[in-house]
Structure 1
Amino acid sequence: MSYHDMTIKDIVGKISTNEVYLPAIQRRFVWGYEQIEKLFDSIMLGYPIGTFLFWKVEKSQANDYTFYKFIQEYHQRDNYLNELAPKPEMKDWIIGVLDGQQRLSSMYLALQGSYSYKKPRARWDNDDAFPKRLFYFNLLRDEFDEDEGITYEFKFLTDSEAEYIDEKHFWIPVKEALKWKEATDYIAYATRKNYLSNSIFIKNLTLLWQRIIQDKIINYFEVEAKELDSILDIFTRVNSGGTVLSKSDLLFSTIVANWEKAREEIEELLKNINNKGEKFNFDNDFIMRLCLVLTDCPVLFNVKNFKKENIQIIRNNWDGIKDAIKRTVDLLVEFGFSQENLTSRNSIIPIAYHIFKGGCLSNDDKKNFKIYLITSLLKQTYGGKGDQVLDSIRNALREEIDGNYVIKNENFTIDILINHKLPADKTLTFTKEDIEELFEYKKSPYTFMVLSILYPHLKLGQVKFHQDHLHPISAFTNTNLKKSGIDISKLKKWYEDKDKLANLQLLEGIENESKNKTPLKDWIENKIDNKPLYKTTNYIPNLDLSLNNFELFIEERKKLMINELVKFLRVK
């Protein structure tokens, strides 16, 4: 391992001429524009920006691995993934970046590209919300700002923003510095702009030229390891010093290093499933764990044990894995789930396992899937010791025949899981005491799950439903309650109970906005045509529905809801 240094201009030039690439084991570029602006402030101040680690690869070897180009025109919505490097473009020797990807990507974007990020409060589906911004330096500032925590002002600006000039602002594109070979070049620039007599302007130009063109800021170690295992070991060691890599991160690195299209395949899958319904936030970690469980690998895994043959198993089964997870997420949408209320991603893996292994997907299976899913989420089955629980549930679903694992039943039978003993005192069994505790939940993802059980007729995957307060929140002010003659000793309890399960219903979004602050009694009397049906489907007890009767309303509605929950959750 040898030590070298070079200038920022040198490394940016090498990236531009296809001499420096990103190995597939690197994660994608994630730095925000503010991080890039602060990086250049540190560079101008002469602060160390860390050592880099480069992998020198001969072209004959480079063809055996997968590399990606640096992003030049970053777009927060449309272009945030690195492009695969075409092998014919590679030189006799190339450099793969093992440590320093985010910093180098930031420098390259700043000096050779653009950064388009969404304007505040703008819609994601609005193309105009992502204006193209180039990287600029304010030549008229060199004082520390306590609020911003920076001395030198760098900004990604649109063309119109960069045109603004006053006594404290003169914006120069930072890439302009790459054109200056000698000091006379930036002096000529100052002369053309009529700022030759401005000392701050000249000082900043000089410092920018020195930092970008002259100073050898890029200090790096260079390794020439030939075996991928050695590179993975180095990568693991150097990257564990900062953000600690999870086991699934390392497995992902191993997979993409041995399977050329893995990153594209996984990112395409994530884009597909995350855009379903009201959106989800699945990530690489989830996909890696899913691959392990579905292909019957150990759930508690050791990255070093995953050799090429294990990766080959995942690769050979990839189409089936993709299909299983897509169909599983379709079920989530049908059940009304999204990133807002899916409180455990591990909980859906047994469903995907059943589908992947060829299990049925009838209406009865769907009902059992829903019972299992909501039960596991409400019981927080995967909270703590989740790996052990997942392994145990998989064992309950499968059996080994002639060296292969198959599911015990083509139909998803919830009773197998309810009666299965799980580790760490976890359980999928509901008791009456558990049901009682559900009514202590305030409006949250958990109350949505319970309400989705109580409103089985609603098409949750087709229409957006809100959790609505039957007795509206606006009624529960101290002033209003006292005015209604409510016993002062009950005020606190009533205020707590108003947000709990027994005062919530599922209501279509538009209808919820219409109902708004209307008292429950007035709403039913004046807005509901079929009052008996409405009361039955919404578990409304036959009693006086004025606010003064809130305590009895809660007690009686709770009884009606419990009767249905006991049946659905298979309470013994």
Structure 2
Amino acid sequence: METKRISEVVQNVNYSYLLPAIQREFVWETDDIVDLFDSLLRDYPIGALLQWNLSADAAESQPKYQFVTHYINEPSFPPSLTTPTHRNPPYESDDPLPSPVKLVLDGQQRLTALNIGLKGSYFERKHGHRRDTASSWVQKRLYLNLLSDPTTVDSELGNKYDFSFRAERSVTRNAYWYPVNRILSISDSDEFYSERQEIERRIRELVSDAPDGKNPDSLVLNAQRNFEDLHRAVHKDEKLHFFTEDEDDITRVRDVFVRINQGGVTPNRSEILLSLMTSCWQQEPPAINARDEVHSMVDELNGSIDGGNSPFNTKHVQKVLLASNENEIQYRFDNYTLELLRELKEIWLTDTFETTMNQLARLFESYYPTVAHILSPALYTPVAYYLYQNGNPSLDPTSVDGRERRESILYYICAARLNGFTRQSSNQIAERVRDVIRDSEGTTFPIDEISEEVESSYGSSLRFTDEKIETLFEELRYGKRGVQFLLQLSHYPDEPARGKDYEIDHIIPKSVLPDDADADRVGNLQLLVDKTNRMKSDDDFQEWLRSRTESYRTTHHIPDGATEMTFEEFVEHREQQIKAHILDQQPL
């Protein structure tokens, strides 16, 4: 085992220390980074790291990545922000590689956190602000409050040292926020003593005329202790302990990587599968960088979703890959054989798979329930498999066959969600539905066969009964996620699409109802185009309803004589009409 100083390692990050393609992405948040720095200054152990030493020649043929320096904590952000990255950038330098190159197999999160704290920054989006606007993002750097008392422990955070990510430095009588990245350049004793004297001078100036009676000597002492502890942790003590793997065999290294990560909670299973895909897909022609390819597809899929949201991730692409190859959708390490990884590569190389994913994204975006709410394995993987298995049949709503397919898939998604397919054994149900689709004849989406199979195996059907719908009326309310699926079925087989900016709104505004009225019941909810919703606002209900066409009242199940009903009568009659519509229109 080698022991090294933090400054020695961080100064060589992205030069001699790089990341292999099998590594995952950085996932830590600012609190994790703060905790790591607090542990280092308190002399707590932070665990051993594992590096794979390769000669420059051997490393040349290996795909390599850089550690993140300026991290942005969401994958979707405006391209005008050129400084931060969300994913590890590929190593593309033309400079000669050092020998050996140290590829970090275990410890990426810790080394990235040190790199961000000592050399970089962390970008966060302001709460409630849009992702696609540069002004929504704030660049923060790590600071240490030198005036905090290093002999006490924060009762809430459990930290002894007052680290914080901040947008700017501040020095007041209450806090002296010292930029942690400055310590990296203060290496020799002359620089250290000069910096310490400057800190003391500034603190005495700040508190010399303080009316609160703070003792300058005690504050200076706190600052000196904090500063010395930070300097010692970074430049003096050998805090980092490395185990070394010297074998050039990528298969051995891959196995080591899986085994050291199998017992922990991170990286997650999709990250390990992506690492194994990346390793395998590089070994035989045509060489493919799975990591870059999958991330590129995820970015493309999310780019097609309105509103700057990012519902798709690596896991969704992988599970469709596994389903398309008729493997278990649930992640299992024992299944990740070289044979499986090669089969997944063959599917990836087909145009059919990419078309399937793009068609899936477009289809889901066209329905009212948000894409993020559909992305449960029991919902999206069978639909994707159906598209892939049938060569991506037309979903054109203007054609007879295309409209029939869209209606069947829409019904499946809504009925499966409302009948609990996403809550119980979601992966197993997805596999069972996938198998039904595989064994079905023709190119129709086999609603009847799916319902029969899942009911016999899991006791859940796609069919609705009076009792089931009444239960949904009692359970679902305004603001509950499932209510959008129920309201979608209230229009079935028509498609109130998200592309038309439909919103869920109260028919009779809460503002005109008494406090004891159950305004959030399904019977008082409807899908409205946002323009209609704004026009409706809190207008008098009777006047607004009289202005609606007969077609509108039919579409939204407004009962005859609604203007003469009490609120309770209106809700009861409307829910009965919605129930009758769903029972009458279900294609089973």
Aligned equivalents of 2:523, 2:173: Cα separation in 1: 63
Q: In the alignment, is residue 316 of structure 1 matched against residue 313 of structure 2?
A: no
Paired residue secondary structure (1:506): strand
Q: Residue type of the partner of 2:441?
A: K
Aligned equivalents of 2:452, 2:259: Cα separation in 1: 44
Paired residue secondary structure (2:244): strand
| Pairing of 1:477-492 with structure 2 (within 5 A) | 477-478=514-515
Contact kept in structure 1, 2:146 and 2:227, CA below 8 Å: yes
Aligned equivalents of 1:182, 1:87: Cα separation in 2: 31
| Pairing of 1:377-388 with structure 2 (within 5 A) | 377-388=417-428
Contact kept in structure 1, 2:4 and 2:239, CA below 8 Å: yes
Partner residue of 1:93 out of 84, 92, 100? 100
TM-score by length of 2: 0.84
In structure 2, the partner of 1:570 is 587
Contact kept in structure 1, 2:378 and 2:422, CA below 8 Å: yes
Paired residue secondary structure (1:56): strand
Q: In the alignment, is residue 10 of structure 1 matched against residue 8 of structure 2?
A: yes
Q: Residue type of the partner of 1:337?
A: P
Q: 1:292 deviation in Å?
A: 0.6
Question: Residues 327-379 of structure 1, C-alpha deviation per residue, up to 9 Å, x if partnerless?
Answer: 11211111123246437243121221122121522121111111222121111
Q: In the alignment, is residue 520 of structure 1 matched against residue 541 of structure 2?
A: yes
Q: In the alignment, is residue 423 of structure 1 matched against residue 423 of structure 2?
A: no
Residues 188/87 of structure 1: CA separation in 2 closer, same or farther (3 Å cut): closer
Q: Residue type of the partner of 2:545?
A: I
Q: In the alignment, is residue 436 of structure 1 matched against residue 456 of structure 2?
A: no
| Pairing of 1:515-554 with structure 2 (within 5 A) | 515-525=536-546, 528-530=547-549, 532-546=550-564, 549-554=566-571
Partner residue of 1:264 out of 292, 295, 303? 292
Q: 1:543 deviation in Å?
A: 2.1
In structure 1, the partner of 2:115 is 108
| Structure 1 spans left out of the alignment, 5+ residues | 400-406, 479-490
Q: Residue type of the partner of 1:106?
A: A
Residues 323/212 of structure 1: CA separation in 2 closer, same or farther (3 Å cut): same
Aligned equivalents of 2:464, 2:393: Cα separation in 1: 26
Q: Residue type of the partner of 1:67?
A: K
In structure 1, the partner of 2:147 is 140
In structure 2, the partner of 1:411 is 444
Partner residue of 2:483 out of 447, 457, 461? 447
In structure 2, the partner of 1:295 is 325
Aligned equivalents of 2:41, 2:575: Cα separation in 1: 65
Partner residue of 2:136 out of 116, 129, 137? 129
In structure 2, the partner of 1:474 is 511
Residues 369/120 of structure 1: CA separation in 2 closer, same or farther (3 Å cut): closer
Aligned equivalents of 1:412, 1:287: Cα separation in 2: 21
Paired residue secondary structure (1:80): coil
| Pairing of 1:164-563 with structure 2 (within 5 A) | 164-192=170-198, 195=201, 198-243=220-265, 247-260=269-282, 261-275=289-303, 276-278=305-307, 279-299=309-329, 302-318=332-348, 319-339=351-371, 341-342=373-374, 344-357=376-389, 358-361=391-394, 362-399=402-439, 408-421=441-454, 422-440=456-474, 441-443=476-478, 444-455=480-491, 459-478=496-515, 494-495=517-518, 498-525=519-546, 528-530=547-549, 532-546=550-564, 549-563=566-580
Contact kept in structure 2, 1:359 and 1:411, CA below 8 Å: no
Residues 345/338 of structure 1: CA separation in 2 closer, same or farther (3 Å cut): farther
Aligned equivalents of 1:75, 1:252: Cα separation in 2: 21
Q: Residue type of the partner of 1:542?
A: D
Between the two proteins, what is the percent identity of the paired residues? 24
Aligned equivalents of 1:344, 1:36: Cα separation in 2: 31
Contact kept in structure 1, 2:368 and 2:484, CA below 8 Å: no
Residues 544/199 of structure 1: CA separation in 2 closer, same or farther (3 Å cut): closer
Question: Residues 207-243 of structure 1, C-alpha deviation per residue, up to 9 Å, x if partnerless?
Answer: 2221111100112222224433332333233323431
Aligned equivalents of 1:363, 1:517: Cα separation in 2: 36
Aligned pair count reads 538
Of 498-507 and 55-64, deviating more is: 55-64
Aligned equivalents of 2:392, 2:34: Cα separation in 1: 53
| Structure 2 spans left out of the alignment, 5+ residues | 78-83, 205-219, 283-288, 395-401
Aligned equivalents of 1:157, 1:379: Cα separation in 2: 47
Question: Residues 412-460 of structure 1, C-alpha deviation per residue, up to 9 Å, x if partnerless?
Answer: 3433333445522233233343333332222323221122232355641
Q: Residue type of the partner of 1:284?
A: T
Contact kept in structure 1, 2:171 and 2:177, CA below 8 Å: yes
In structure 2, the partner of 1:403 is none
Residues 97/411 of structure 1: CA separation in 2 closer, same or farther (3 Å cut): same
Q: 1:244 deviation in Å?
A: 5.4
Q: 1:529 deviation in Å?
A: 4.9
Q: Residue type of the partner of 1:9?
A: S
Aligned equivalents of 1:193, 1:246: Cα separation in 2: 44
Contact kept in structure 2, 1:186 and 1:205, CA below 8 Å: no
Contact kept in structure 2, 1:65 and 1:257, CA below 8 Å: no
Question: Residues 139-190 of structure 1, C-alpha deviation per residue, up to 9 Å, x if partnerless?
Answer: 33334443454332333344xx31x322343343323323333323211223
Q: 1:546 deviation in Å?
A: 5.0
Aligned equivalents of 2:190, 2:521: Cα separation in 1: 73
Aligned equivalents of 2:535, 2:416: Cα separation in 1: 35
Aligned equivalents of 2:158, 2:317: Cα separation in 1: 39
In structure 1, the partner of 2:81 is none
Q: Residue type of the partner of 1:561?
A: I
Residues 550/387 of structure 1: CA separation in 2 closer, same or farther (3 Å cut): same
Paired residue secondary structure (2:563): coil
Aligned equivalents of 2:177, 2:310: Cα separation in 1: 40
Question: Residues 511-555 of structure 1, C-alpha deviation per residue, up to 9 Å, x if partnerless?
Answer: 324434445324313xx153x3332222111125356x2333233
Partner residue of 1:154 out of 150, 154, 163? 163
Paired residue secondary structure (1:462): helix
Paired residue secondary structure (2:3): strand
Question: Residues 68-117 of structure 1, C-alpha deviation per residue, up to 9 Å, x if partnerless?
Answer: 11112223445111011238653332222222211110111122222222
Aligned equivalents of 1:146, 1:268: Cα separation in 2: 44
Please, what is the CA RMSD of the aligned residues? 2.7
Contact kept in structure 2, 1:277 and 1:338, CA below 8 Å: no
Paired residue secondary structure (2:25): coil
Q: 1:26 deviation in Å?
A: 2.1
Q: 1:565 deviation in Å?
A: 0.9
